Amino acid sequence: MSETPPEEVTALDRAHAEMQAAPEDGAARLRFYERLADSELFVMLSKEADGDRISPELFETPDGRFVLVFDREERLAQFASDAVPYAGLAGRGVVEMLAGQGIGLGVNLEVAPSSTLLGAEAINWLHETLQNAPDRVEAEIEELLPPSGLPEVLLTALDAKLATAAGLAAAAYLVSLRYAGGGQGHLLGFVAAKPEAEAALAQAVSEALTFSGIEAGALDVGFFATSDQMAAGLERVGLRFDLPVMEAPKLYQPKIPGGDPDAPPILK
């Protein structure tokens, strides 16, 4: 007799469990919101998408209106118990779409350990948090040193963020530094980053700081060509983060509502 395979425990499930186990731990709560923003979410729709325009199914409750999302297609199907239209969106795209609409988010309701309701206020807060702009290094750098004194939670968050940035840069190096004229700090320097990816990489670093509960000013971001003298210095003393290599270019990729942060899906 064949056994039913155990249900997959997703990254969102784990982050939710950590948050529930330590309700007073602000860092655990931030990590859950970070996983939500970084996840691909499947949104239940009231009808098929019309290009970039989607019509999420709205559920009225005594606590307000909610849109339902699931981090696996199978979970959406289990909840719906029937064929329903849906759209796969980046979590941050869902937040962008709902912010300011007075609509909350129902996540994995009734079908997963991460089942939870997030009110409209939480969605607005997450939207604001995701807008935090990172600082780029502008002062003249006098000396590079090995990194020191940064919490392990930040190193782990940076590693997780950069693991999703396949093909956007050759590598990143974390260093301590002294600025000309006084002052010191830390720098994450990207080497051979694609120019069009610089803003996204800087934003990823900013989010790693924010969701680690660390002040944004604790880390500067810089971009350097492989031939720059600075790149050699980073490689010599820095803590290296390897970004995954893009396996193969895709000649065609369907346009997914919410996939482009500059063109979020339109709520109908």
Half-sphere exposure of 86 (CA within 13 A, CB side): 23
pLDDT of residue 267: 55
pLDDT of residue 247: 57
What gap in Å lies between CA 28 and CA 34, rounded to an integer?
A: 10
**Pair 221, 205: CB distance under 8 Å:** yes
- What are the beta bridge partners of residue 89? 41
What string of pLDDT tens digits covers the 268 residues of the chain?
A: 444 345 789 999 999 999 999 888 888 888 899 889 888 999 999 998 887 788 999 999 888 999 999 999 999 999 998 889 999 998 989 999 999 999 999 999 999 999 999 999 999 999 988 877 655 555 677 889 999 888 888 898 899 888 888 889 999 999 998 887 778 888 999 999 999 988 889 888 888 888 887 765 578 888 999 999 899 999 999 999 988 876 544 433 444 444 454 555 555 5
Structure tokens at 126: 């997450």
Domain residue extents for the chain: 11-131, 141-237
CATH number of the domain located at residue range(s) 141-237 in this protein: 3.30.70
Contacts of 262 (CB under 8 A, 6+ apart): none
pLDDT of residue 254: 41
Strand, helix or coil for residue 138? coil
What gap in Å lies between CA 268 and CA 261, rounded to an integer?
A: 18
CATH class of 11-131: alpha beta
Gyration radius of the chain over CA positions: 21
pLDDT of residue 131: 79
What gap in Å lies between CA 173 and CA 165, rounded to an integer?
A: 14
pLDDT of residue 181: 75
pLDDT of residue 257: 46
